[in-house]
């Protein structure tokens, strides 16, 4: 499973956390819909598995940032699935952090 580490400056941590929490809530709702559909039809179990994997990826990123804002945010290195990081960093307006991490990973 691919992972990428991004050094997140303290001024970006809270925004990144908010984006990851919103994505987590969205995927949790998608999991619920997938489970309801599977229970009704016993088809498309792959959608349940896909939602679980995505939810776990988001959970791992949030666990590193902390689920609640810190009194004084600090810079943190987050290692997560590249797509999770890309989507969240784009949403907070800092896709350059991802580019730097990708370059240093080469």
Give dist(CA 61, CA 50) in Å, integer.
Answer: 17
pLDDT at 98: 78
Percent with pLDDT over 70 in the chain: 97
Q: What is the mean pLDDT of residues 66-70?
A: 89
Classify each residue of 4-24 as buried b or exposed e, where b means 16 or more C-beta atoms within 10 Å of its C-beta: bebebeeebbebbbebbbebb
Residue 104 has pLDDT above 80, yes or no: no
Q: Are 6 and 58 in contact (CB under 8 A)?
A: no
CA 34, distance to chain mean position in Å, is 19
pLDDT over 90 (residue 105) = no
Q: Tell me the β-bridge partners of 59.
A: none
């Amino acid at each position: 499973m691919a992972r990428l580490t991004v050094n997140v400056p303290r001024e970006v941590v809270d925004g990144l956390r908010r984006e990851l929490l919103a994505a987590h809530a969205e995927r949790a709702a998608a999991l619920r819909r997938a489970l309801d559909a599977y229970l009704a039809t016993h088809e498309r179990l792959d959608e349940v598995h896909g939602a679980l994997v995505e939810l776990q990826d988001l959970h791992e990123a949030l666990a590193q940032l902390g689920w609640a804002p810190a009194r004084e945010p600090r810079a943190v290195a987050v290692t997560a699935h590249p797509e999770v990081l890309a989507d969240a960093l784009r949403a907070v307006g800092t896709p350059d952090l991802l580019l730097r991490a990708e370059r240093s990973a080469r």
